[in-house]
Structure 1
Amino acid sequence: MERCLAGDADARLTPGVAGEFVALVQQALIDLGEPLSAGGADGRYGRETTAAVLGYKTRRDIKGPDGSVDGVVGSRTMAALDEECTARDQIPGPCPPAANGPSVDLRGTDERLVNMVLAHTMAATVVGADGSGGTRLITSGVPIPETLARNLVDAATHLLHGRGVRSTPRLAAALGELAVIHADAGQTELAHALADGALWPSAIHPGTALAHLLTRALTEVAPSASTSVRDLSKTSALAEAADHALSGRITLTPSPMARIPDPKGMFAVPATVAGVTFKATAFGDKRLPSYRPVATPLEHLDIRHVVGLVRFAVHLSTKWGVTEVHHAGISGDRRRADCHGNGRATDFVGAVGRNPADGLPFHLTVFNDWKNRSVPDLHDPSTARRPDWPPGSGKIRYRLADLPGVDPLARDFFADLYAWVAGEYQDITDGPGQVGLSSAIGESSRIMTPDHPDSQPGSPNGREAHHSHMHWQVGPTGPQAL
């Protein structure tokens, strides 16, 4: 297919040929509205496929030198299919739902630490943010009264503020009440764990044992470690953004210098962030004429995303010598109500820079240097490698990890980029408080890539819709309070 796109006449797709490459062209025709009802994307270039190609070329006025239209896929047809499918797949994927549990007040306590206490007591899943930036308690599928939610969080914050054993009776009482609620809802195993103490030795009164357990767990969190973007409250994020503005890394609008802005409001920064220029482009394939990155201000942003962009720029410039980030969407869009509309998401296309290791310039894109590299056949490793993963879901591998002849820079850059995003933004949870290890490429995650395990051909979701960019976000979907 690449030879065909490059103009190799011997690589044109003609009636009678068969193979995976034919199936990919057939799927592209189907996605773009051409009828292929009988065989679908069966990999055989028969009469129905020929008719679909003729229809596609006729509607787009793709003619030969003599003005005729034939049923052959040559370089111009392949380029048109490539460009249209790339444009079609630039629709951002879905964002996680907003937290909708009872409202709680953390009173300035770090969300990450509260979540650790709640996880060890099995009291709740995490503390999350709702669509307006408020803090809510996300429980295990059973509604609980707001009074109980406040008691759970208050007991957790008391433990964190050094009250230790003195706060455990309050926590024990709240856990006992929570156990009754889960028992009434038929969640007997969880109720038993809450009441019996799978994580602490006492029945209802955990006493000193629970306090010591939590103290040991909390000491594993380095106090000096930077809180992940996903775990920042908006107030904490605004304070960090103000520090970045004072240090000259960003110019923040509205400015925190004149007055303290509303942390739940929307913010803007210029195209250059911490020395890295952010440029918007419609496509991920730098060979196409439409790939024209343009530096534009980043506007209508959630304050947590502002902090994330600064950290992102510092990481890429320091480790990889990146001077430009190309993206297909960062600024918020007031016409939309999802994470993209509220300035909480990034569609990363590529980067330009000079590798500190050898001083050589580079320009990497997700489309050219990741998606367009072949993948192994996991069902039969002895067969030739494929141009892309077949439809279907399940754990898959990072295709660049063991690809023969792969560019080491591309392999290591995208692996490091994914690890950084998984550590800062939404990864394996909808909200903050991720307890487990970060995901790796090929595992289920909120971070969408060409090697994401979810496959949904023909939809804006899954790896097919993200073969030209990486998608990540902070916080839930929902309207932004102004």
Structure 2
Amino acid sequence: MNKQTQWLFEAPLTKQFCDPISGCNCSRCRSSTRTKEWEVIGANQYHLDLREEEWETSGNSCLTSLSIPVALSTPARDLRRQEARDIVVYLLSQGSFALKQKWSPLQFGSNCKILQPKPDTKIAIEPAIIDGVRFVNRINRKSNLLFNLDVRMIVLLYRLANLLRTKWGVTEIHHMGIGQGSGNAKDCHNTGRALDFAGVVGNYDGQPYTIDVLKDWGKQPVTMPDGTTQPNWPANFTQTTYRLNPTNNFLAYWIFWEVYTLGTREAADTSTVRNGNTVAQTTLGRTSKFIIHPDYPNPGLRRAHQNHIHMQIGPTGEEKNPP
């Protein structure tokens, strides 16, 4: 477990708060007696605001003794919320991210049974870093918080961050919204089940790069079936293809392809019903269904998604019977 994300615990006799690695005389720990807010000093700072009574049942030993969840490899879209919650807590034990404790505390009961978060808890992650990748909100770049997240979406975000970091050197994922939207209060965005992916920042083969969905995809020319080039697809055209060419922009082509392909495995692809997606996945272009992007076949939805890739778990509207 990463030392910087190690949970602090309360020594039962001295009532001192201690770092389990360095002990109670730890110079890396400091406290405020007024708020009991603690921080681990290092390259990243994690603020843990746990109520005193929670420490009696949420010790470090529960996190370190967690078993690997049975459903760890199940696609996020097919997870039951309890399965996803167990994966989220397991990822916490691996130091993959930190919870904003005031909003979605971590608490264990007897025999290390997980009491909080519950499967239906909307999770808040602070700082907005998952598996070492910072999530940047294009609408509010100063925000360092991801909140109102369905536990299944957190599993998807972890897998996306892990893939892009390990394969393409991504350090930032930019988005247009996760957990919030302008539609119905019970739709996939406002219940934390959707992602609008807008781009990435990273370093590949020692070279820094920035890839943006609008600039590097939506504003690129398209090739029509007759071989002619157009600035974009005609207004009523539906026989779209993936317009990018790896020889023109290698990173943009493959990163967008990776994001879409992960979406076909983890998010709603051919169906919004749990376990309802077909084995045959869609591809970028005219076969796309629930993952929406600049080359989407439906003209209206295509126009609205020139600057991001939309993916979701469950129905677009209200999920009336969450698993």
User: Do the structures match in fold with TM over 0.5?
Assistant: yes
Q: Equivalences for 1:392-403 in 2 at 5 Å? A: 392-401=236-245
Q: Within 1, Cα distance between the matches of 2:273 and 2:319?
A: 16
Q: C-alpha distance in 2, partners of 1:261/1:273? A: 18
Q: Partners in 2 of 1:420 and 1:230 — Cα distance? A: 12
**TM-score between both structures, scaled by the size of structure 2:** 0.69
Shift of 1:248: 0.9
Q: 1:330 to 1:224 in 2, by over 3 A?
A: closer
How far apart, in 2, do the equivalents of 1:341 and 1:480 lie?
A: 14
Q: Compute the RMSD of aligned alpha carbons.
A: 2.3
The question of 1:260 aligning with 2:109 is answered no
Give distance in 1, aligned partners of 2:321 and 2:190: 13
Pick 1 or 2: higher relative contact order, CA cutoff 8 A, min separation 6.
Answer: 1
Letter in structure 2 aligned against 1:439: T
Structure 1 CA distance, aligned partners of 2:291 and 2:86?
27
Q: Does 1:299 align with 2:147?
A: yes
Specify the code of the residue in structure 2 equivalent to 1:312.
L
Q: Could you tell me whether the CA contact under 8 Å between 1:277 and 1:295 is conserved in 2?
A: no
1:440 paired residue number? 283
Look up the match of 1:322.
170
Shift, 1:293, TM fit: 3.4
Please state how far the C-alpha of 1:432 moved relative to its aligned partner. Answer: 2.2
**Structure label with greater radius of gyration:** 1
1:43-70 deviation per Cα after TM superposition (whole angstroms, max 9, x unaligned): xxxxxxxxxxxxxxxxxxxxxxxxxxxx
- Alignment-derived partner of residue 478 in structure 1: 318
1:240 — aligned with what? 87
Which residues of 2 match residues 306-385 of structure 1 at below 5 A? 306-332=154-180, 336-355=185-204, 358-378=205-225, 380-381=226-227, 383=228, 385=229
Q: How far apart, CA to CA, are the structure 2 residues paired with 1:224 and 1:237?
A: 8
1:421 and 2:277 correspond? no
Q: 2:175 corresponds to which letter in structure 1?
A: H
**How far has the Cα of 1:276 moved from its partner?**
0.6
Secondary structure of the residue that 2:222 maps to in structure 1? coil
Cross-structure match for 1:469: 308
State the one-letter code of the partner of 1:279: V
Which of 125, 130, 141 aligns to 1:269? It is: 125
Partners of 2:217 and 2:260 lie apart in 1 by 12
Query: Aligned equivalents of 2:180 and 2:89: distance in 1?
Result: 20
After superposing the two structures, state which structure 1 stretch, 229-238 or 443-452, moved more: 443-452
Q: How much does 1:257 deviate? A: 3.6
Letter in 1 for 2:233: W
Which runs of no fewer than 5 residues in structure 1 stay unpaired?
Answer: 1-222, 283-291, 457-461
**Residue of structure 2 equivalent to 1:103:** none
Instruction: Decide whether aligned partners of structure 1 residues 296 and 340 sit closer, same or farther in structure 2, where only a CA change above 3 A counts.
Output: same
Which AA in structure 1 matches 2:121?
G
Whole-Å Cα distance in 2 between the matches of residues 230 and 373 of structure 1? Answer: 31
- C-alpha displacement of 1:230: 0.4
Q: What letter matches 2:310 in structure 1? A: H
What is the deviation of 1:401? 3.5
Q: CA deviation at 1:227?
A: 0.7
Q: Distance in 2 between matches of 1:224 and 1:432?
A: 14
Tell me the alpha carbon deviations over residues 123-145 of structure 1, each in whole angstroms, 9 at most, x when there is no partner.
xxxxxxxxxxxxxxxxxxxxxxx
**Percent of residue pairs bearing the same amino acid type:** 34
Deviation, 1:394, is: 2.9
Q: Partner of 2:46 in structure 1?
A: none
Shift of 1:449: 0.4
Structure having the larger proportion of residues in helix = 1
Q: How big is the shift at 1:278?
A: 0.7
Shift of 1:228: 0.4
Under a length normalisation based on structure 1, what TM-score does the superposition of the two structures give? Answer: 0.47
Residue 315 of structure 1: how far off its partner (Å): 1.0
What is the letter of the counterpart of residue 375 of structure 1? V
Give the secondary structure class of the aligned counterpart of 1:329.
strand
Deviations 1:413-472 (A, max 9, x none): 11111111111111111222213311110023200100011112xxxxx11100011111
Contact 2:269 2:281 in 1 (8 A): yes
Q: Take 1:333 and 1:368, find their aligned partners in 2: how far apart are those partners?
A: 23
